[in-house]
């Protein structure tokens, strides 16, 4: 994600990736060299105090988000943070309080907002295009535990840490659920977890799998209730045939809509008559989370109005992640 952040921010006119920080100064140096970045640091407080940056983007492991966010807030720097905000709700709350006291822009990278599809669905619901909303389904399915299209999880640090209970945020609940719960809150309004089930990762007998704190959750299901109805939410890293499939279906009294990022990230299908083929509805082009953050960091208004991706939204998502993640079952 750090490489992706650097690429996306460097592609925005007027923005320059000026420095990189890692808990290993050697890794920071190598990253800076590989990406053509001028400065590197081994401590986020040193980078924030260096005067070489105007804003900070946090793409570390979940449990390492707190310190750089607090360092940025302490120096009055805008901060962009990967999802989930933190491993636990208490840290996410502390981060939100710190940026609020500092009065700096703070954005969580809920990247499924990019492309404008969720924003289109939200407007259709608000305008009564579905009638009264009755129920919804949110799904995020991956299969990286079954294939190595993204690298072998047994040997690739990018993946293996997610399987550790002491390093990840409830495993798949934090990784996939943060997107799902953000979408549910965004489209349905205030939500509460009413029931959940999850399955922990279980390595085979031939797997070299040292997981600090034990295995984390690899799949989960949750039921949410909201003023507009209920929602079924599911996520898995072991979904055969699904490389990276984010989807949602919302059912109203007069119409339904189907969002499938595997089919399109800019158009949804709207269904009116039973048995009728869905009609595609294209979303207008919208600014990405990266572009929105740069605009805020420059002191401009958010180019996307009424669709919050700030730390307050991040805390609400973290609340649902923690409520769901605490239900994790034992290995079976």
Q: Would you place residue 50 in the very low, low, confident or very high pLDDT band (cuts 50, 70, 90)?
A: very high
- Is the domain of 85 the same as that of 123? no
- Is the domain of 143 the same as that of 214? yes
What domain range includes position 251?
A: 115-286+311-325
- Is the domain of 317 the same as that of 229? yes
Domain presence at residue 295: no
Phi, psi of 222 (to 5 degrees): -145, 150
- Is the domain of 150 the same as that of 237? yes
pLDDT digits (tens, 9 = 90+) for 244-261: 999 999 999 999 999 999
Please name which of 298, 300, 264, 295 lies closest in space to residue 281, comparing C-alpha atoms. 264
Mean pLDDT of the chain, nearest integer:
93
Q: Would you place residue 14 in the very low, low, confident or very high pLDDT band (cuts 50, 70, 90)?
A: very high
- Is the domain of 227 the same as that of 246? yes
Domain at 257, CATH number: 3.30.360.10
Q: Which of 84, 104, 124 is the last residue of a domain?
A: 104
Domain count, the chain: 2
Domain at 14, CATH number: 3.40.50.720
- Report which of residues 213 and 315 the model is more confident about: 315
The whole-number pLDDT of residue 229 equals 84
pLDDT digits (tens, 9 = 90+) for 89-142: 999 999 999 999 999 999 999 999 999 999 999 999 999 999 999 999 999 999
Measured in residues, the chain has a length of: 332
Q: What percent of the chain has pLDDT over 90?
A: 85
pLDDT digits (tens, 9 = 90+) for 294-314: 999 999 999 999 999 999 999
pTM value? 0.95
Q: At residue 331, does pLDDT exceed 50?
A: no
């Amino acid at each position: 994600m750090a490489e992706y952040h650097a690429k996306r921010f460097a592609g925005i006119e007027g923005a320059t990736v000026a420095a990189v920080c890692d808990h290993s100064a050697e890794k920071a140096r190598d990253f800076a060299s590989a990406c053509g970045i001028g400065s590197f640091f081994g401590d986020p407080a040193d980078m924030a105090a260096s005067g070489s940056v105007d804003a900070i983007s946090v793409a570390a492991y979940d449990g390492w988000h707190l310190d750089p966010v607090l360092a940025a807030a302490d120096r009055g720097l805008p901060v962009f943070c990967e999802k989930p905000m933190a491993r636990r709700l208490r840290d996410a709350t502390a981060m939100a309080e710190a940026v609020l006291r500092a009065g700096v822009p703070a954005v969580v990278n809920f990247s499924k907002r990019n492309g404008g599809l969720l924003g289109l669905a939200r407007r259709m619901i608000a305008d009564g295009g579905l009638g009264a909303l009755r129920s919804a389904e949110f799904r995020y399915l991956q299969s990286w535990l079954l294939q190595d299209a993204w690298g072998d999880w047994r040997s690739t640090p990018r993946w293996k840490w997610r399987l550790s209970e002491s390093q990840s945020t409830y495993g798949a609940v934090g990784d996939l659920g943060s997107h799902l719960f953000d979408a549910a809150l965004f489209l349905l309004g205030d939500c509460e977890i009413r029931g959940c089930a999850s399955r922990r990762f279980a390595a085979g007998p031939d797997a070299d799998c040292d997981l600090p704190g034990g295995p984390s959750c690899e799949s989960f299901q949750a039921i949410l209730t909201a003023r507009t109805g209920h929602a079924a939410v599911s996520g898995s890293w072991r979904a055969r045939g699904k490389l990276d499939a984010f989807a949602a279906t919302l059912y109203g009294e007069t119409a339904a809509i189907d969002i499938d990022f595997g089919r399109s990230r800019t158009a949804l299908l709207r269904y009116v008559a039973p048995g009728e083929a869905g009609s595609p509805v294209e979303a207008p082009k919208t600014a990405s989370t990266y572009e929105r953050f740069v605009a805020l960091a420059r002191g401009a208004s958010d180019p996307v109005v009424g669709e919050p991706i700030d730390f307050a939204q991040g805390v609400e998502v973290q609340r649902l992640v923690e409520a769901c993640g605490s239900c994790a079952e034992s290995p079976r």
